[in-house]
A and B are shown apart, each in its own frame.
Chain A
Amino acid sequence: MAFDKMELKDIEVWDGNFAAAQALRQCQIDVVAAYPITPSTPIVEGYGKFKADNYVEGEFVMVESEHAAMSGCIGAAAAGGRVATATSSQGYALMVETLYQASGMRLPIVLNVVNRALAAPLNVNGDHSDMYLGRDSGWIQLDAYCPQDAYDLNFIAFKVSEDHGVRLPCMVHQDGFMTSHTAQGVHTLSDDVAYGFVGDFKPMNDMLDFEHPVTHGVQTEEDWHFEHKARQHNDLMTKVLPKIQTAFDDFEKLSGRKYNIVESYDMDDADVCVICMGTSVETSREVATEMRAKGIKAGVVGLRVIRPFPFFEIAEALKNVKAIATLDRSSPNGAPGMLFNETAGALFNTQARPMLSGFIYGLGGRDLTKAHLVNIYKELQANVDAGKVTTQLQQFIGVRGPKLAFL
């Protein structure tokens, strides 16, 4: 081996960015083409330092924009090898054109997205605006709630994305600053165990196979385009979740850490629950436990997989609950909110059809406090007691000024 392995302690104190950078190092990426942007920059910096210290053998290409970063990743992935990068916010927005191209060309690329607000006004802090922007781009989207998840989900991402039955790019999301810059104890895998889980890259339709030339990125018009998009959607709908489940199962056997497509917390007998993503899941769990001490049977549903949307898994997780609050951390700009809409869609044809209300919170890094969540749970309980939604369907929480509510 021309590169050096790194000795890790069983538990390292890492923030989400460094955890992701370590996972990339352990996966032995062939090409990383990247561009720095707050708050994902330390992933790229960390990887660059690994390269400088000979812990990485692949190519590390610092390009001139995020658009070029993903363009380079697409070229590298089509050439045939393991490819990853990282970005946030405006960089992600600049990448959007190429996100669709990567997925449409069925290229396995892992993109670490450290979630951050979108301008204007400019803001460097965490919310889910960038994550939502890419939700129709044909990528698999996994969501980390803490640095440990950010580490582990990278292994899952490569395993699923590179599977020849899937061949779809995959994002691993973590919250800007709250996860990316918060150091926590992270249980590690040794370099060999980690790489063994992900396995060697298996090329498919690779441009560098000179004996089998391929054409990538063709034009299809009205006579073919629909079929290709339908194929991609079919594969997202039918092939990805089973592969993720298998990867989660295998990972649990290896690490003892269990991930689920939908992360239910105290949902068995819950009357009320919130559905949310990112760091808010952990805060909500803490508050839910406290609410139980106060006599409210509270639970939490966290989305682990955003795309493909776990339609039936969500409905299953919510089948016995009476009132639900969806927590969307992105300005819905004229609509109820992504989680509200998707959850409503999943529940509409169910028998129980629990009450649903939506909350917009945390834009631009505004804290979601425990007090906010206590109020939400109390409102949900009030809805249960009244047998109807007693508030407007969309409420803003944590914003200054007169109460803001719609619908």
Chain B
Amino acid sequence: MSEIKKIKNLKEFSTSADRFEGANLLCPGCAHSIIVREVLNATNDDLILSASTGCLEVCTAVYPYTSWDASWIHIGFENGSTAVAGAESMYKALKTKGRLKQPDRNPKFVSFAGDGASYDIGFQWISGCMERGHNMMHVVLDNEVYANTGGQRSSSTPIGSSTTTAPAGRVSYGEQKNKKDMVAIMAAHGIPYSAQVAPNKWKDMVKKIQHGMEVEGPVFINAISPCTTEWKFDPKDTMHITDLATDSLVFPLYEIIDGHELNITYRPKDIVPVEEYMAAQGRFKHLFKDEYKYLIKEWQERVDAKWAYLNRREEARV
């Protein structure tokens, strides 16, 4: 077992030597990159990485350039998790057979994928990886939309968001369905660790990633990744939007251990109204018309109910 990297504070964290490079092609202000950096910098161990097709993938490995300093693989849209599972299986096999070139290493296996590649098209592959118990971590860069292809709805898109395939129009307020609770579904696999993280709460993120890397078995991480392009906000405001998401409890931060034990890991001092979170983004602009304001109210109620549920779960220790 390798030692967990000591990261007491941000100054100490800033001594990390990044293993993800600039001059990638992600949009200015993209949160994907911030999340990836926080995940990668949480450990000094070697990494075997994958990305499913999506923004992260098409922006970090366009021939003849790679932005990855650790071994990385992309196969397709749906199977990035299984690519890493295959590599992890090979690691186990070569370890058993004594054929690892550097047998003293303790590599971590991490697959990154967007919400489209995780909640939708890659759902079965991730479920398979979680069920089989690979020693790997799947991280969803959840921007609640197919951003790479221009903003189509996914099953992570929240109600009322205007997307290119569920646009707001004369008779529609945009996306009609509620966001899928992926963390609950993954936790239901009985995996040792699943959690929601947000890049603004870097310390919470690092703690969870480190825990996830230390436990034996599959780990599922859902990271909110505000998308300047599709959520329609100024690139400079990425962290502000993330703050609003976590502090309005639209995106609560919690963890589920062994599929059942739920802990809330961040309780905002001042809870921000959901309306404030929505007002900061163009994708919800149309909801501020009189006829749709009930949706904002409903959303607030949903967020309150979810928060109450999470609190009950935490209290009940089940």
Contact = CB atoms under 8 A, between A and B. Distances in A.
Contact flag (A, B; Cβ within 8 A): yes
B64 interface: yes
B74 interface: yes
B91 interface: yes
A72 interface: yes
Contacts of B257: none
Interface of B: 46, 48, 50, 57-58, 61-64, 66, 68-76, 78-79, 82-94, 96-97, 99-102, 105, 107, 124-125, 127-128, 131-132
A219 B74 CA distance: 9
B86 A71 contact: yes
Contact of B86 (A33, A64, A105, A211): A33
8 contacts: A31-B93, A68-B125, A71-B76, A79-B87, A207-B87, A208-B87, A210-B102, A211-B102
Given A75-B83, A75-B85, A98-B79, A81 B63 contact: no
Interface string A74-106: 111111110100000000000001100100010
Interface string A216-238: 11111100100010000000000
A62 B83 CA distance: 14
Nearest to B70: A213
B46 A31 contact: no
A220 B63 contact: yes
A-side interface size class: 35 or more
A80 B69 CA distance: 18
B96 A57 contact: yes
Given A68-B124, A75-B87, A216-B73, 6 more contacts: A58-B97, A71-B86, A75-B85, A77-B86, A209-B102, A213-B68
Contacts of A62: 132
A151 B87 CA distance: 27
A175 B89 CA distance: 30
Contact of A74 (B61, B75, B92, B128): B75
Given A76-B89, A210-B102, A71 B75 contact: yes
A217 B69 contact: no
Contact of B82 (A58, A71, A228): A71
A62 B63 CA distance: 33
A216 B50 CA distance: 9
Contacts of A228: 63
Contact of A64 (B69, B91, B125): B125
Nearest to A212: B71
A323 interface: no
Contact of B90 (A63, A79, A218): A79
Contacts of A217: 61, 73-75, 83
A71 B94 contact: no
Interface string A100-118: 0100010000000000000
A59 B85 CA distance: 11
Between A57, A62, A64, A215, the greatest number of chain B beta carbons within 10 A of the residue's beta carbon is seen for A215
Contact of A33 (B50, B89, B127, B131): B89
Interface string A1-45: 010000000000000000000000000001101000000000000
Interface in A166-215: 203, 206-211, 213-215
A241 interface: no
Contact of B75 (A80, A101, A211, A213): A101
Interface in A305-326: none
A339 interface: no
Nearest to B68: A215
A215 B125 contact: no
Contacts of B82: 63, 68, 71-72, 75
Contact of B91 (A68, A72, A77, A79): A79
Nearest to A80: B90
A52 interface: no
A62 B134 CA distance: 12
Nearest to A65: B124
A216 B72 CA distance: 6
